[in-house]
Amino acid sequence: MGEDVLGRAAEVRTEYYAISIERKLSHPCVLTITASACSPFLPGEE
């Protein structure tokens, strides 16, 4: 199984979503991303 280049893109945009069935987030990276994404919207949260 190989990869072939089909063309070049001038601009590429990637989005990531974290989906979990757990109610409490526990992974350190997910906690950091969630805290930094929410902090501008929640006063007193950093």
Which pTM does this prediction carry?
0.36
Task: Specify the pLDDT at position 33.
Answer: 85
3-class SS of residue 28: helix
Residue 6 has pLDDT above 80, yes or no: yes
Residue 15 has pLDDT above 70, yes or no: yes
Q: pLDDT digit string (tens) for 17-42? A: 877 676 787 889 988 888 887 666 66
In angstroms, the first-to-last Cα distance of the chain is: 46
Half-sphere exposure of 2 (CA within 13 A, CB side): 3
Q: Tell me the average pLDDT across 13-17.
A: 82
